[in-house]
Chains A and B, each alone.
Chain A
Amino acid sequence: DGGITQSPKYLFRKEGQNVTLSCEQNLNHDAMYWYRQDPGQGLRLIYYSQIVNDFQKGDIAEGYSVSREKKESFPLTVTSAQKNPTAFYLCASSNFVGAVSYEQYFGPGTRLTVT
């Protein structure tokens, strides 16, 4: 079954701790993305990667970090520098090289609560 896996579904952390959210895809997609979803604000892009070992900041990258060491994996670390980390985080992937259409496929999301 092809798709995107995010784990865990719910995550709780204390303020001041870094936390890493997992994202794995077996769709053989080149590009992967991390979004943050807050009520009434749509999806805001945190980081994206169009190729292994390369990634770019999105609109709200401050306080987050990523790595892309393997094509299928794109973990997101929420650092203690992120001022308002409690949110729903979505991972997505898409074709990129030679693509005709750039639709993105989404994982189930991770709801992070920081207290």
Chain B
Amino acid sequence: AQSVSQHNHHVILSEAASLELGCNYSYGGTVNLFWYVQYPGQHLQLLLKYFSGDPLVKGIKGFEAEFIKSKFSFNLRKPSVQWSDTAEYFCAVKGSNYQLIWGAGTKLIIKP
């Protein structure tokens, strides 16, 4: 079955720390990968996406992610987090029927 695994359900960091959130997927078809973010009280919004080309993709607010095909991974990174990055982060992959398959989410708390 197609699935997406996010390794950490909760992450707590101090401001200026570096961030890496893990995402692994199981799907052998053409890859469309996404990271979404849900800030407290706000819409779920797209952070970045990969569908072809350079495996290192840059998104909004200084986030980036690297697609590593051999590892079926699409980890999210940010070199220096801010308090405003406190949010829930979701990884998703396009499945065989064009639907998105979602990870369980990672709640990120940044301590000021």
Contact = CB atoms under 8 A, between A and B. Distances in A.
A96 B98 contact: yes
B32 A101 contact: yes
A102 B105 contact: no
Nearest to B101: A45
B74 interface: no
Contacts of B102: 42-44
Contacts of B68: none
A107 B98 contact: no
A19 B104 CA distance: 27
Interface residue range, chain B: 10 to 19
Nearest to B52: A100
B11 interface: no
16 contacts: A40-B105, A41-B104, A42-B102, A43-B44, A43-B102, A48-B99, A101-B51, A102-B32, A102-B94, A102-B98, A103-B46, A103-B49, A105-B46, A106-B45, A107-B43, A108-B42
Closest 5 CB pairs of A and B: A106-B44, A42-B104, A42-B102, A43-B102, A101-B51
